[in-house]
Structure 1
Amino acid sequence: MQKQDSNIVFKDYTPNQLMLLPPSLEELIPAHHPARTVNSVMDQIDLSPVFVYYSQNGASSYHPRMLLKILVYGYLENCFSSRKLEKATRENIVYMWLSGMQRPDHHTINRFRSERLKQVIDDIFSKVVLLLYEAELLDIKEVYTDGTKIEANANRYTFVWGKAIKKNTERISKQLKELWEYAGSVAAQELDSQEPDFINPSPEKVSQTVDKINQALQGKSVDKKVKQKLNYAKKNWPAKLEEYAQKEQILAGRNSYSKTDPDATFMRMKEDHMKNGQLKPAYNLQLSTHGQFVVNYSLHPNPTDTLTLKPHLEKYCQLYGFYPSNCTADAGYGSEENYCFLEENQIEAFVKYNYFHKELQQESKGKKVYGLLDNLHYDSKNDRYICPMGQPMEKSGKSTSKTSTGFIQHYSHYRAKNCSRCPLAAACHPGEGNKVIKVNTRLKQQKAKAKERLTSELGIQKRKQRATDVEPVFGHLKYNKGRSRFMLRGSEKVAIETGLLAIAHNLAKMAG
């Protein structure tokens, strides 16, 4: 045993010594600790909407305010697992202080998160945002909107494709029709029935048709392969069609879903580490921010941003009772339907459209691309366009189209003359025949207004601010918080997870 040098002075260390007055947890939490912000804000939130999900019978329950504080602070500190949160309430003084020394188990924490918060997470989030608004930390009426795809907690290889279901259904219809035609050629008199509808047949119709074919072919000399096909059809096709119908109901208009999380759609991810653009089950997360505070969030099953703006802003109105005064968004949102929606709800739109930057580049360089409609001169007096060679393009007709959301678009058609001998045909119209253009007059007017706003002094400022306002929030959530993949499954639970992340992000920014 080494001898201690008598000149060395150590602080007293007596871990087993009893204290006359044990230390208070309150004294151990620093004055400006983020947990104090969480505690203070959560104490101001009205949680009465949560109370209706508790029963008055049975044993007493842990207070939802305490459980909410633990969850929000856990998400602030990148502690998302209910088991880790259970452990933290027993070992971490911050969690012990927030919980008041109570020790809920992981089942209680997880059940509160998945069941109790399901209907109220949006209400809690909006109340937190309104508190921040009252503290003048943000302006909820001026928002910057963008979206990103976050991978779902689902198997990447258990997929169902809408096109495959359609193809297999059509294959069954085609083969059933071939069997009917074969039976008609062999036993036309015995069949003696009107030809059934083979387009999208129901399982009952398929079963009935196969029975009629079998009855007609009884006692006839039938090819062995046809008998095998009929037996296979009787045994498998009705069940398969029922399966396809169930899958189409889950798809609900989408092109795909994952079997392990049917609410997730396969999307192309930018953060693909393989760099091969593979599809993964994911959700399209839309955020609206101001000052890098999240003021609205929504989850969508469709991969494109164009269809998300309207429901995203409608949710904003549900949260606060009004729409924002202005909205700034990137080119992915610049559609006719979105422009009409923004205008109808008196939202000043700083929303780019496709080719906005390309048009600015052309104007700065003084170049023209003859394929772009805006480079063609419009003769408003005669309602016609003038092609690059000075030839008139007369109006030839009208048409309408309907988007997947039911929005009606109106087009006017204009046809050129003598394109075959035009020296600019290769650049203007590489195809055969005379060039025909479809003009959406309302969209053209909306783009002109959008361009005027976007190129104004305020519009330039808004465009710059968008890139530094909403995009850093995505970077923080994905890389600092490690949420490039959701932890929970199903759209309802993923929405709860997103709401807790948004609340934690706002409180962390408030505390920091």
Structure 2
Amino acid sequence: MARYKDYNYDQMKMIPVSFERQILPGSFEYSLAYLIDNELDLSAFDQYYCNDENGRPAYDPRVLLKIIILAYSKGITSSRRIERLCRENIIFMALSADLQPDHSTLADFVSRSPEAVADLFSQIVLMCDQLGLIGKEMFAIDGCKLPSNASKEWSGTHTELKKKRQKIDRAVRRMLQRHCEQDSAEQSPGIQRHDEAEQIKKLRAVSRKIKRFLDTEPERTGVSGREVKSNITDNESAKIKTSHGVIQGYTGVAAVDSKNQVVIYAEAFWQGQEHGLLKPVIEGIRDTFNDSKSKSTLKKTKITADSGYHNREMLEYLEAEGVDAYIADTGFRSRDPRFKDHKEPRERNRRKDKERFTRSEFIIDRKKRTCRCPAGHALWLKAKRARIGHHLFMQFQAYEKDCNNCGLRKRCLRNEQQHTPRQINVALDITQEQKAGVIERMKRKIDSPEGRHIYSQRLGTVEPVFGHITDAVGIKRFSLRSKRKVDGQWKLMMMLHNILKIHRYGWEWA
């Protein structure tokens, strides 16, 4: 017969715990505690406390900051989970000196002080610079799109939200009408009517919520000046297209140094399009290093960014500021000889043009200036050099008699009922003013061997930072609302990334 050891729950074991000895040298929590206690100035948090003469003492911002950054390093952003860790996890108990702050204290500390967090982020960047972790040879700029604490189901233009409210009100009226008919017929109310009463209560609350939003919030306009979708929950967030679908969130932009992937500037924006985001990032980098010895950082450092930041206004701004930038355009890869055998992806959502004859199916001889359509008919030369925008084309057009009687008319014209015959534009060149323009200068610069070499470092510099935060650390969304608070949380994430760099490479004991 099997024998087992005796056990008894009616006993006590006293375990002495020294909180100071739990923070072991060489660990991340040791580096975090030393950094916050000895290197950072947290006086910016004092403005949020007014208990000099009355009121009970507040939790020290140093303690709260240690707890929150350590929790973020483990991918935990929920204040309730952090509160539980302070009660159950010995490392969090030691780091917080067993103060055990509640979840509302932790949540308020993160959400109400984004300006103080931004000041700490700048201090961390300058410390990385002093420790030699920033090379200042190349800064790569890119954005990471993350969902926010808002549902995209509550998004829409003011017209769409009005229609949604009217639809909800109609549904409520139908249910109330049905209840009135049941009362007239003296039918006993059943379970279904009780459920509908609860549903009516919820729908009316939703209708009032939409009405309050429409009465208090103006129509939201985008960069182009046209109206964009608002969001009732967080009106500063935006619907953003990503590779995983459409999300309701923010774009977190970061500028990363190429030496050790230290984030030198970070800011969250409400828009998904990145066309106008380069200028505030450049100015933010300049402000970060403004008080340091390296005031001419941007004069010596190369800036790289992908095609999302490429537009004439930004390129003109960079030239005016004297910034050595390498910004790719949408056709950069197609001009790269290394991708000459690269197959273009199949176009999506092609409807009527799916079976339409393309220009490559026409037989064109540029020297003889002749063109023949797939049906074998010759096209006449409409223009030797026609200008469309900044581009020059050789234009051919079919004869009306050939197009009207052609059996391939359906596959050649955009519309079978089209009266004008098919026209073909053959690209020849661009205008002289375009060749001398800022866009062509950037194309020549980035297509040079040196430009391709510099731009090729961008991907391996900035993308691992986003991968580290979202996959290695595990933070995949923002937990706050409004741009001000989300910006503070984004800087807190990037500050965690930089502190990990200091822990691994900046100090001797790491």
* TM value normalised by structure 2: 0.65
For residues 457-487 of structure 1, give each alpha carbon's deviation from its aligned partner in whole angstroms, at most 9, with x where no partner exists.
4433322221111111222222233333221
Name the structure 2 match of 1:298: 267
The equivalent of 2:217 in structure 1 is 246
Amino acid at match of 1:337: E
For structure 1, list consecutive stretches of 5 or more residues without a partner in the other structure: 6-13, 169-238, 273-278, 372-376, 378-388, 397-410
Q: Distance in 2 between matches of 1:104 and 1:139?
A: 40
Equivalent residues of 2:74, 2:474 under 8 A apart: no
Instruction: Give the aligned partner of residue 79 of structure 2.
Output: 82
Counterpart Cα distance in 2 of 1:242 and 1:257: 10
Q: Which moved more, 1:240-249 or 1:341-350?
A: 240-249
State the one-letter code of the partner of 1:75.
Answer: Y
Give SS of 1:267's match.
Answer: strand
Deviation, 1:452, is 3.8
For the 8 Å contact 1:414–1:438, the answer to whether it is kept is yes
In structure 2, the partner of 1:343 is 319
SS in 2 for 1:470: helix
What whole-Å deviation, never above 9, does each CA across 1:248-268 have from its counterpart, x for those lacking one? Answer: 158785511321111111122
* Code of the aligned partner of 1:305: E
1:51-70 equivalent positions in 2, closer than 5 A: 51-55=46-50, 56-58=52-54, 59-70=56-67
Give the corresponding residue for 1:103. Answer: 100
Which residue identity does 2:48 align to in structure 1?
A: Y
> Which residue does 1:190 correspond to in 2?
none
1:118-129 paired onto structure 2 within 5 Å: 118-129=114-125
Q: What's 1:26 paired with?
A: 20
Q: Within 2, Cα distance between the matches of 1:413 and 1:461?
A: 29
Distance of aligned partners of 1:439 and 1:108 in 2 relative to their CA distance in 1, 3 Å threshold: farther
Instruction: Verify the 8 A CA contact 2:303 2:325 in the aligned structure 1.
Output: yes
- Where does structure 2 lack aligned partners over 5 or more consecutive residues? 165-209, 342-357, 361-365, 367-380, 400-411, 413-420, 505-510
1:74-473 correspondence to structure 2 within 5 Å: 74-115=71-112, 117-140=113-136, 142-161=138-157, 164=160, 243=214, 246-249=217-220, 253=225, 255-272=228-245, 279-290=246-257, 291-321=260-290, 324=298, 325-361=301-337, 393=385, 432=423, 441=433, 445-473=437-465
Separation of aligned partners in 1, 2:237 and 2:333: 33
Residues 15/352 of structure 1: CA separation in 2 closer, same or farther (3 Å cut)? farther
1:496 counterpart (488, 504, 507)? 488
1:163 touches 1:255 (CA, 8 Å); kept in 2?
no
Q: 2: distance between equivalents of 1:248 and 1:63?
A: 42
Residues 413 and 330 of structure 1, relative CA distance in 2, 3 Å threshold: closer
Query: In the alignment, which residue of structure 2 is the partner of 1:37?
Result: 31
C-alpha distance after superposition, 1:154-192 (max 9, x if no partner): 122111226758999xxxxxxxxxxxxxxxxxxxxxxxx
Query: Using the alignment, how far apart are the partners of 2:92 and 2:339 within structure 1?
Result: 59
Q: Distance in 1 between matches of 2:359 and 2:432?
A: 18
- Write the distance in 2 (CA, Å) between the matches of 1:501 and 1:353: 30
Q: Percent identity?
A: 25
Compute the displacement of 1:145 (Å): 1.0
Whether the 8 Å contact between 2:115 and 2:488 is mirrored in structure 1 is no
Q: How many residues align?
A: 389
Distance 1:301 1:18, change over 3 A: closer
- Asked whether the equivalents of residues 266 and 281 of structure 1 are also in contact (C-alpha less than 8 Å), the reply is yes
2:41 to 46, 49, 52: 46
**Deviations along 1:269-310, whole A, 9 cap, x unmatched?**
2123xxxxxx33121221111232222112222222222111
Counterpart amino acid of 1:488?
A: L
* Whole-angstrom CA distance in 2 between matches of 1:79 and 1:417: 62
Which SS does the other structure have where 1:285 is aligned?
strand
Distance in 2, matches of 1:443 and 1:304, equals 27
Contact 2:141–2:253 (8 Å) recurs in 1: yes
Counterpart-to-counterpart distance in 2, 1:439 and 1:162: 44
Amino acid in structure 1 at the alignment position of 2:138? E
Q: Which of structures 1 and 2 has the larger relative contact order (alpha carbons within 8 angstroms, sep 6+)?
A: 2
Is the partner of 2:234 in helix, strand or coil? Answer: coil
SS of equivalent to 2:115: coil
**Could you tell me how far 1:134 is from its partner in structure 2?**
0.9
Name the aligned partner's letter for residue 77 of structure 1: K
